[in-house]
Amino acid sequence: MKKTSSAVTRVSTDMFFHQGSWALGFLFVVLLINIGVGIGTSMGVNVRAGIAEEDFFSITYRSTKGFMLVIGIISAYGFLSYYVRHGITRRDFFKGAALAAVYLSLAFPVVVGLVNWIIGMVTSHDASSTLLLQKFDNNWLLILVSYGV
């Protein structure tokens, strides 16, 4: 017999996939901007001092905070009424939304780190020379925890 999932699990899974698709779109736009800045820097266009030393991981480290704030506001406004209309209690919604936020905050640094590693392999960029790693004393675990928080 198939066991039915709880409302919290359904809400968290659904919200994680919706917000995850938004996050992939956001990361794609940031990647395109990063590539454009790299091309511009190689042509001699200087957008901001020090931007040439930053990598994809460092750029997304700062911009993800604002993105998570925006999708949190959108989630509370848009998803709450949708789930309540479909019979999910507010308590289950908030538990599911919190769980989805935790999942998303854990998935973000993993995906960004993987993309940064692929970019480093293609461009032969040294991953240990980034400004973000130097700020955290080359401790990847501390960076991942800080990124997730």
Look at phi and psi of residue 45 and say left if phi exceeds 0, alpha if psi is from -120 to 50, else beta: beta
Residue 2 pLDDT class (50, 70, 90 cuts): very low
- Is 112 a residue whose pLDDT tops 70? yes
Residue 100 has what pLDDT? 93
Which of 36-40, 67-71, 104-108, 141-145 has the least mean pLDDT? 36-40
Which of 4-18, 26-40, 43-57, 95-109 has the least mean pLDDT? 43-57
Side-chain-side CA neighbours of residue 95 (13 Å) = 10
pLDDT, the chain, mean = 80
Assess contact for 64 and 147: CB atoms under 8 A.
Answer: yes
How far apart CA 23 and CA 41 sit, in angstroms, is 26
DSSP assignment letter at 49: T
Residue 27 has what pLDDT? 92
Assess contact for 92 and 43: CB atoms under 8 A.
Answer: no
User: How many separate helices (H) and strands (E) can be counted in the chain?
Assistant: 6, 0
Residue 44 has what pLDDT? 63
- Is 67 a residue whose pLDDT tops 80? yes
- Is 123 a residue whose pLDDT tops 60? yes
Assess contact for 56 and 119: CB atoms under 8 A.
Answer: yes
- Contacts of residue 96, Cβ cutoff 8 Å, sequence gap at least 6: 7, 8, 9, 10, 11, 12, 14, 15, 88
- Is 22 a residue whose pLDDT tops 80? yes
